[in-house]
Amino acid sequence: MRKIILTVAALLMSRAICAQDDYVDGSYWTVTGVDTFPGQFNAYLTDLNGAWRKSMEMLIADEKVLSYKLLNNVNPREGEPDLWLMVEWSSGAAYMDTPRDYWDANARKLFGSMDNGAQANKARGEMREIKSNILLRELRFN
């Protein structure tokens, strides 16, 4: 019985080692699907070019974010968002473990106060609907 267990364990370990040779873990990405309301696409892009873009640049300066992208779904099917906001994080911890006071301080830098930030968020809510927000891990082949 002991030989069987050791053989199975060795096979599983060799399979894991071989699988790890095929790819490496890459960056963490958040991908947010956004659907703009009729007539609000340009207004929302203008808004993104302000606060969102500035916040991304702040996060890059603080080495929490590596890059970001804004993609337009040219031919969205029914129910699909028309924009994808993609953010490449420097690590999973940069996304998940950053203290709340860091985010609050950045909001104050962007908007002057938390109340102004809340008002800006409310105004954005009149231009778009967030359809999804997912965290992905990039895999790269060796």
| Separation of alpha carbons 76 and 73, rounded Å | 6
Q: Between 10 and 100, name the one with better pLDDT.
A: 100
| Separation of alpha carbons 106 and 32, rounded Å | 20
- pTM, full prediction: 0.81
Report the phi/psi class of residue 79: left, alpha or beta, with left for phi > 0 and alpha for psi in -120 to 50.
Answer: left
**Spatial strand order in the sheet of 128-141:** 65-72, 83-89, 23-36, 128-141
The pLDDT mean for the chain works out to 90
Instruction: Identify the pLDDT of residue 21.
Output: 78
How confident is the model over 41-66, as a mean pLDDT? Answer: 97
For residue 45, pLDDT over 60 is answered with yes
Question: Among the listed ranges 9-13, 54-58, 113-117, which one has the minimum average pLDDT value?
Answer: 9-13
Confidence of residue 10 (pLDDT cuts 50, 70, 90): low
Domains and CATH numbers, the chain: 24-141 (3.30.70.100)
pLDDT per position as a tens digit, 67-109: 999 999 999 999 999 999 999 999 999 989 999 999 999 999 9
